[in-house]
Amino acid sequence: MKLYQKIVNKQEKISVVGLGYVGMPIAVAFAKKINVIGFDLNAHKIEQYKNGVDPTNEVGDDAIKETTVDFTEDETRLREARFHIIAVPTPINVDKTPDLSPVKGASTIVGRNLTEGSIVVYESTVYPGVTEDVCIPILEKESGLKCGVDFKIGYSPERINPGDKVHRLENIKKIVSGIDEESLDEIAKVYELVIEVGVHKASSIKVAEAAKVVENSQRDINIAFMNELAMVFARMNIDTKEVVEAMNTKWNALNFYPGLVGGHCIGVDPYYFVYEAEMLGYHSQIVLSGRKINDGMGSFVADEIIKKLVLVGKVVKKSKVVILGITFKENCPDTRNSKVEDIIKRLKEYGIEPVVVDPHADTKQEYDVDLVDLSEIKEADCVVLAVAHNEFKTMGLKKLDSMFKDCPNEEKVVIDVKSILDKAEFQRLGYCYWRL
């Protein structure tokens, strides 16, 4: 009997290694159909899941309370499973090179608990070749088993969009790949249990790995183009959003907007592509340039804040700047690689200690920032809407104005990074308004 059939019949289990923004929704989705072991090294996180708490807000507390996922931090429990999904983060080092330590560590753990006849599938974003050249040797060394003979391997890049309630795991087509036709067929069938729109079978593991880094690099480059335009248009005193809206009247416009590009995917994946290209003797000209532009947008926004404070007659060092949002994207608690931090760092160079509000951010966020409740904000000289959380999009002019000092509107600086406010209204009322 094939492994897939045993899994469906609940004679075998699958495991999900790494229960973050990607792994946890996968585990919960599979648990509706089959037996799932959810493993993570973080004992606190496991305890939260066992208590029915979803720290990621991806599926919600109710779904966690109802799920049959067997959450554990005991790695020996992985021996009960024969189909392993590894969904750990793949960050970058300070020098922008790939940090493969999480995926290597996960491979070590799975390897020493691997049993004959198993399939291991990686979802972590990597450059082409990592699964076969880096991960397989670790699995073989730790298990004493031979890949292709005693166990099989595959790669299926994650495509979950954290915080997105429309594009979910179930309705995003899944790329799958395997080391051979047999493993590809088994992996495809397993994922088809939860992916309602079906899977795309890549011809090789390297093709699947490349597809992931390319899809994020493509988006990164397009946003970088818009960011570069925004910086130029700012000098021309032209509103970028109005330009984009005019451009979008053409049928083949791509509808990208400028913005802060952070997070653990678009802000990271291009560096994996660039790294491998350079290892092969090719120096990236477009991808790396796009990354440099996007990495500099936080400083650009901060400099615009300073300019506007000066223009309205504020003493920069004594100005109170309030930043609304610190997560890398809207309606999501994830602060990893948030470019809002770059705004904060740049403002501090000018002697400003900004006040930060974020109702979604993880209280254990990685930056040295004390979050303040929105209701406590008052006496501001400048308010920066950095993240388009629903709470900020719906708060209205009266609430926003209550955050400022009692002074003429002409002295109130509003920085709308996400272009969520009504520009015409704010300009009509005399505010010093600027948007990216």
Q: Which residues are catalytic?
A: 265
Separation of alpha carbons 267 and 308, rounded Å:
28
d(Cα 308, Cα 350) in Å, to the nearest integer? 14
Q: What sign does the CA torsion over 366, 369, 372, 374 have?
A: negative
Structure tokens at 190: 């397993």
Q: 207 φ, ψ to 5°?
A: -65, -45
State the Cα–Cα distance between residues 197 and 209, nearest whole angstrom. 21
Three-state secondary-structure class, residue 293: helix
CA 267 to chain CA centroid, nearest Å: 8
**Rounded to whole angstroms, how far apart are CA atoms 261 and 275?**
19
Residue 231's φ and ψ, nearest 5 degrees, are -65, -40
Cα–Cα dist 8/83, whole Å: 12
Q: Could you tell me if 358 and 330 are in contact, meaning their C-beta atoms sit under 8 angstroms apart?
A: no
**Maximum Cα–Cα distance for the chain, whole Å?**
77
Radius of gyration in angstroms for the set of CA atoms belonging to the chain, rounded to a whole number:
24
CA-to-CA distance for 276 and 128, rounded, in angstroms?
A: 8
Task: Name the residue with tokens 């610190």.
Answer: 326
Per DSSP, the three-state class of 315 is coil
CB neighbour list of residue 1: distance below 8 Å, 6 or more residues apart: none
Cα–Cα distance measured from residue 374 to residue 324, given in angstroms and rounded to the nearest whole number: 8
How would you classify the pairing of strands 70-72 and 321-324? Answer: unpaired
Residue 209's H or E segment, with its range, is helix 205-236
Q: What are the helix (H) ranges across 1-153?
A: 3-8, 23-31, 43-50, 61-66, 101-111, 130, 136-143
